[in-house]
Copies of this chain bind each other. A is one copy, B any other.
Amino acid sequence: MLFAVTMDVAIPHDLDPGVREDLIAREKSYCQELQEAGVWRHIWRCAGQYANLSVFDVPGNDELHHLLWNLPLFPYMTVSVTPLAAHPSALTAR
């Protein structure tokens, strides 16, 4: 089941630089593990923004919430979620 998710990131300016770098590194690693697992299907940078548009493939709402809640940068994100369905004009299921 697919969900489009937009994540806007706003890390506080006064966060300790070491903590910040560690967060970003853990975020990247977490993201890549989920990509390898086929769960985080797409991630694109929104040009000119500290934000991304992503597509997740998960069994349901609970799994989606679990994944997002555990993002290392989650406390600094504004997240919006759009559940996606198959479009009648799409040539393939995906």
Q: For the complex, is A60 an interface residue (Cβ under 8 Å from B)?
A: yes
Interface residues of A in 41-93 (CB under 8 A from B): 42-49, 52-53, 55, 60-62, 64-66, 68-69, 75-76, 79-91
The copy count of this chain in the complex is 10
CB closest chain-B residue, reference A13: B12
Chain B contacts for A66, CB-based, 8 A: 85
Q: How many residues of A are counted as interface, with CB atoms below 8 angstroms from the partner's CB atoms?
A: 49
Chain A positions within 8 Å of B, measured between CB atoms, are 1-5, 12-13, 15, 27-28, 31-32, 35-36, 42-49, 52-53, 55, 60-62, 64-66, 68-69, 75-76, 79-91, 94
**CB contact under 8 A between A81 and B5, given known A43-B90, A90-B43, A91-B36:** no
